[in-house]
Structure 1
Amino acid sequence: MLKSILLFSLICLTLLTSKAQSVQWASKVMSFSSEYSDPLLGKEYRAIHILGRPSKYPKFSATPSAWQSLTPDNPGGEFIIVSFDTAKVVKQVAIFENFGAGSITRVDALDENNKLYLLKEFNAGYAQANGQITRIRLANPTSFKVKSIKITMNSLRVSGYSQLDAVVISDGDSPIEDRIKLEVDPNAYLVKENLGTAINSKFNEICPVVSPDGKKLYFTRWKHPDNLGANKNQDIWVSNLKDKKQWEKATLFPAPINNEENNAVCGISPNGKTMLLNNVYGKDGQMEKGVSLSFLLRTGEWSFPKPIRIQNFKNKSEYSEYTLAPNGKVLLMTTEMKDSYGGKDIYVSFLKSDDTWTEPKNIGAAVNTGESESTPFIAPDGQTMYFSSSGHVGYGNNDIFLTRRLDDSWLNWSIPENVGPVVNTNQWDGYFTVSAQGDYAYFSSVENSMGAEDIYRIKIPEKVKPQTLVQVSGQVINQLSKLAIPAKILVKSRVSSDTMQIDYDPYLGDFSFMWPTKKPFYMEIRAKGFVTRRENFDFRDQAKYFESVQLLGLVPIEMNKQYKVPNLSFIQSKSEISKESYPALDEIVLILQENEGLHLLVEGHTDNQGDWDENLKLSLERANQVKSYLISKGISVNRIDTKGWGGTKPLNTSTLEEKRRLNRRVEFSFFVVQ
């Protein structure tokens, strides 16, 4: 892996000096003598894995997430040159020899002109252990700025392979490892709550998925005697939350979701009506590798799983895990492909207009390592991802980490943070999931379990919480009849490009979605035969999760009835339309696009100040400006008529400008040509 460059999380950042020393980890490989490669592997053991922070500290061991030479014993020796983001004066160098320590013969520094300076030579036998931090502490800072470090090795000094995990430089004397110390909490296990016999047994309980409303817990049991089939393969179980935050005794989930093969829930949509499932279901009961979707029917049953078709999806590993973003259009998965950094990596795929999914893209070296990453989970905020890995600094052989999406590409992520000793143990930990409320987290662990893996929950530590969410739910109704109507709801952030499309069917229940409170948004509600409605929302003053219920009424389109264009007004004596008016006009475009038989009459008005003839001309110019905008959006010129009324139809006769400006307007009405 390209180790994390800055792992903040639950790591001690306290320095021993009054002035903070500057520390840089190697960020680029400039040259090397050789690197291990295998046609059956991805990028394991490559030189790139020496970059960033170490993956096997403090427990040193062999790892594919470190640089390893092509052969174990090369008479000609080996070397590697790494550079740093910024050239700087150096007082200290540290090399993490995670395995086969003792091969280094000398370390040189290169200045900005690539001139070589010897920093230290090493005699045979300098290593005190098979894995160690090898330090160079200079009596005085270098007289030049160090841009690169060259490490020369005699691989014959140590029998077998030697691995280098990381290289770091500093302008201070404080031990560099202080920067990556893990938090120690001997009482952490007291905070972790085993969910008890209602959920756990002496068999394996893994893959917990809590519904966004926090009221249902889905999980997988393996080899349980009540599972389906003779082999008792993995089956899905479900439990409901009781009033006192306790879970009822779990029950076996019904067919067709469970069958005699391996079954697992990967995620639940924010409205609780779409279920992401591992594997592709065959009508004959057989299963293939892949992922499927099941939908909640009006009867209350779940549909037969529909496969998700991902272009050029290939997996060299036997296993994959999946998680679906809250908008339903972004799928994250673990798979092993040709460009994997090592073992399974996390990839992303996007929903296309033809209902297939794009070829998976590796989400990058900030998250993926030379080890295998597993059990990714996108929180309901659509921004925070939890995953399990042994390729970042951790407590055991597999820890849970947190990373946050930095942009809308889904390829740039923050440096992973270890979620800490409350969750992570010295054994295997994974399957971390949270509800939208952000109160509890659920995960699997073998520590102090009833038998095999059990499911635990904790109060989510503040530092690893997802963003605070609002759950918006409700109905779309006919404003006149008060009856629920089918509609399409577009939810769009007012501060980013985040969007969500909801097809609302009143027969399936209320619409429901989650949204980060820190992002103001608007809802655009469209239905055939109704005037499009747009509503703005801003919940930035809400510090905790809460629910907002909306009853959204749409006005039926009535023929020959005048409607005022909202948010469309004019400067006195001007006809130009401002960009702020475009969204309101776009709503008219949508109505005309969805109702091809409709025609539009656009009527312009002015106030009663000035010359009568000039006002008449200006009012028509305003109507024609609207007409031109609609035509530019693809509406036929033959469907739009215009009129100008000057100042003959005022809304307000006041002489005050604040009132008079309301007369400078455009109105529209729909009609059908007989």
Structure 2
Amino acid sequence: MASDTHTQSSPFSKTVSILFCYFVFAGFSVSGAEDSPMKGKVAPIKGEINTSLNEFGISLSEDGNTLYYYSKRKNSNYSDLYKSVKTKDGWAAGEEISELNSQFDDQSPFVIENEKAIIFSSNRDGSIEFKLGNGKIGVSRDLYFATLKDGSWDKVTRLPQEVNTPAIEENPFLAGSYLFFTRYPFGKVAESDIYISEYKNGSWKKAIRMESPVNTEYAEIAATLSRDSKYLYFSSNRPGGYGGLDIYKVEIKEDGTFSAAVNLGPLINSPGDEAFYTETPDGKNAYFCRLVKEGGNYDIYEFSASEWEELKKNKKISLESIHFRTGSFEIEEKSFEILDRLVSFLNENPSIKLKITGHTDLHGDPSDNLELSRNRAAAVKDYLVKKGISSGRFTTDGKGSKEPIYPEKSPEMDRKNRRTEFQILE
């Protein structure tokens, strides 16, 4: 199973290794944390994925095109695993993953890479049994693992006793060779804590409860890690929040120390419950689950960052999300929304002038790339001018393939190198 547990590069694993050492043994204070100044828009996720029933426990594939979650439908006595595929109009209606679901509760999936494997929670046959205080036999909910081979899910395997116990284990999140998950005693959700286990030399190490600032005397669930591995997100009902479960984050600093837990603020958190903050591949936007009112159902929401507030703050921003037709400087329609937000930003900030610079990937002739990048920058300017912004507020340039972010050729690196930069001119 060793090869199946490494989901990111070695720098990522190194960061998580530091995180493991500090969070397990440090005992940092949770006092004094302020809200994180999140700016952007929050709305129910686009498409047909949300229903009148629960959509909860989300996990996003590495490419951002498939979303796993669980739900309990009207025709079932148990919760089941579902997945939805991203389309040009949003997200398709969820499809039950019948190969993985059992006649018991199947919950909180974590999809590894682009559906290479999965870890999820279940109380199916084979889960740990124990005796309740009334003498009856109870069944825990344990973490299970399966791989996808030739388009079909292979045999489901329960993780060993170093991870699973007679308590409830759920909400897995795999980062490199480290597995984060939630554990609480049977029937005592209020005592939930976040645990971490390392996969090393072909076996799982005994899971350890994480210390402050993650766990407190209150409930903590659903740890996730940011795409750049700089932040750990989780949910807690500790005092000082906006409702029930709020989403918090802790920063992993370069010197190996960690910030106090910071509430993501009222844009993300509501008087209800929020959990499973899951970043998109670019790390700028995110999905999460929200329960608006007690007795209702969880739905999936989307956070869209305000790119242009970031531009105003840092004076420069580089975007991969402005797309052109292949080998062309014709802007694709799906980029109009972000450019229209730039129009609004420029109307609200009439003194700002911008330099627009185009960049290509490393494929093709360098001189052709240079011309293409200049034409793409000019096309962006033309779009903004047609929307009523004065042409005198822009200058344009193109660097072709001369200034790549990554000096490599691969689909992922190509996507990052193909970008449009905006810089505020002083």
For residue 301 of structure 1, the aligned residue among 130, 146, 152 is: 152
Corresponding residue number in structure 2 for 1:346? 194
Corresponding residue number in structure 1 for 2:266? 421
Q: CA deviation at 1:194?
A: 1.4
Give, as a single letter, the amino acid of the residue that structure 2 aligns with 1:259.
Answer: S
Corresponding residue number in structure 2 for 1:4? 30
For residue 275 of structure 2, the aligned residue among 419, 425, 430 is: 430
Pairing of 1:602-613 with structure 2 (within 5 A): none
Give, as a single letter, the amino acid of the residue that structure 2 aligns with 1:195.
Answer: I
Residues 1:252 and 1:433: Cα distance change in structure 2 (over 3 Å): same
**2:60 paired with 1:210:** yes
CA contact (8 A) 2:406 2:413 kept: no
1:305-338 CA distances to partner (integer Å, 9 max, x unpaired)? 222224275465x45322111x2x101122248x
Pairing of 1:53-452 with structure 2 (within 5 A): 191-195=41-45, 198-225=48-75, 227=76, 231=77, 233-244=78-89, 246-255=90-99, 257-279=100-122, 282=125, 288-297=140-149, 299-311=150-162, 313-314=164-165, 316=167, 318=168, 320-325=170-175, 327=176, 329-336=177-184, 343-355=191-203, 357-391=204-238, 393-406=240-253, 413-447=258-292, 452=297
Give, as a single letter, the amino acid of the residue that structure 1 aligns with 2:159.
Answer: I
Residues 1:382 and 1:457: Cα distance change in structure 2 (over 3 Å): same
Residues 1:450 and 1:208: Cα distance change in structure 2 (over 3 Å): farther
Corresponding residue number in structure 1 for 2:412? 547
Give, as a single letter, the amino acid of the residue that structure 1 aligns with 2:238.
Answer: G
State the distance in 1 between where 2:141 and 2:211 align.
24
CA contact (8 A) 2:178 2:197 kept: yes
Residues 1:270 and 1:460: Cα distance change in structure 2 (over 3 Å): farther
State the distance in 1 between where 2:59 and 2:243 align.
23
1:205-236 CA distances to partner (integer Å, 9 max, x unpaired)? 111212111101111112432x4xxx2x1111
Give, as a single letter, the amino acid of the residue that structure 2 aligns with 1:243.
Answer: K
The residue matched to 1:547 in structure 2 has which SS? helix
Q: CA deviation at 1:461?
A: 6.2
CA contact (8 A) 1:310 1:349 kept: no
1:161-210 CA distances to partner (integer Å, 9 max, x unpaired)? xxxxxxxxxxxxxxxxxxxxxx9x9xx8xx32213671122211111212
State the distance in 2 between where 1:214 and 1:449 align.
30
Corresponding residue number in structure 2 for 1:511? none
State the distance in 2 between where 1:218 and 1:312 align.
22
State the distance in 2 between where 1:346 and 1:426 align.
23
Compare relative contact order (CA 8 Å, sep 6+) and give the higher one, 1 or 2. Answer: 2
The residue matched to 2:55 in structure 1 has which SS? strand
Residues 1:456 and 1:388: Cα distance change in structure 2 (over 3 Å): same
Give the length in aligned residue pairs: 283
1:442-482 CA distances to partner (integer Å, 9 max, x unpaired)? 11112289952211111146799xxx9x9xxxxxxxxxxxx
Identity of aligned residues (%): 21
CA contact (8 A) 1:211 1:268 kept: yes
- The unaligned stretches of length 5 or more in structure 1 are 12-182, 471-537, 551-674
Give, as a single letter, the amino acid of the residue that structure 1 aligns with 2:110.
Answer: G
State the distance in 2 between where 1:300 and 1:429 align.
33
Residues 1:449 and 1:211: Cα distance change in structure 2 (over 3 Å): farther
Q: CA deviation at 1:389?
A: 0.3
Give, as a single letter, the amino acid of the residue that structure 1 aligns with 2:413.
Answer: S
CA contact (8 A) 2:108 2:172 kept: no
State the distance in 1 between where 2:306 and 2:81 align.
28
State the distance in 1 between where 2:305 and 2:161 align.
34
TM-score (norm 1): 0.37
State the distance in 2 between where 1:354 and 1:300 align.
26
State the distance in 2 between where 1:401 and 1:193 align.
19
Pairing of 1:563-574 with structure 2 (within 5 A): none
1:216-275 CA distances to partner (integer Å, 9 max, x unpaired)? 1111112432x4xxx2x111111111124x1112211121x1112111243222343021
The residue matched to 1:333 in structure 2 has which SS? strand
CA contact (8 A) 2:29 2:260 kept: no
The residue matched to 2:170 in structure 1 has which SS? coil
Residues 1:309 and 1:460: Cα distance change in structure 2 (over 3 Å): farther
Residues 1:438 and 1:365: Cα distance change in structure 2 (over 3 Å): same
State the distance in 2 between where 1:406 and 1:306 align.
36
The residue matched to 2:241 in structure 1 has which SS? coil
State the distance in 2 between where 1:291 and 1:300 align.
22
Give, as a single letter, the amino acid of the residue that structure 2 aligns with 1:216.
Answer: T
Give, as a single letter, the amino acid of the residue that structure 2 aligns with 1:309.
Answer: P
Select the structure of larger CA radius of gyration.
Answer: 1
Residues 1:371 and 1:448: Cα distance change in structure 2 (over 3 Å): closer
Corresponding residue number in structure 1 for 2:382? none
State the distance in 2 between where 1:539 and 1:400 align.
35
CA contact (8 A) 2:226 2:283 kept: no
Residues 1:218 and 1:273: Cα distance change in structure 2 (over 3 Å): same
CA contact (8 A) 2:181 2:223 kept: yes
Give, as a single letter, the amino acid of the residue that structure 2 aligns with 1:455.
Answer: I
The residue matched to 2:92 in structure 1 has which SS? coil
CA contact (8 A) 2:194 2:215 kept: yes
CA contact (8 A) 1:202 1:450 kept: no
State the distance in 1 between where 2:214 and 2:246 align.
13
How well do the aligned residues superpose, as a CA RMSD in angstroms? 3.9
Residues 1:549 and 1:208: Cα distance change in structure 2 (over 3 Å): same
Give, as a single letter, the amino acid of the residue that structure 2 aligns with 1:289.
Answer: R
State the distance in 1 between where 2:226 and 2:288 align.
13
The residue matched to 1:402 in structure 2 has which SS? strand
Residues 1:383 and 1:199: Cα distance change in structure 2 (over 3 Å): same
1:279-312 CA distances to partner (integer Å, 9 max, x unpaired)? 375479x975321221110x20111222222427
Residues 1:9 and 1:315: Cα distance change in structure 2 (over 3 Å): farther
Corresponding residue number in structure 2 for 1:495? none
The residue matched to 2:153 in structure 1 has which SS? coil
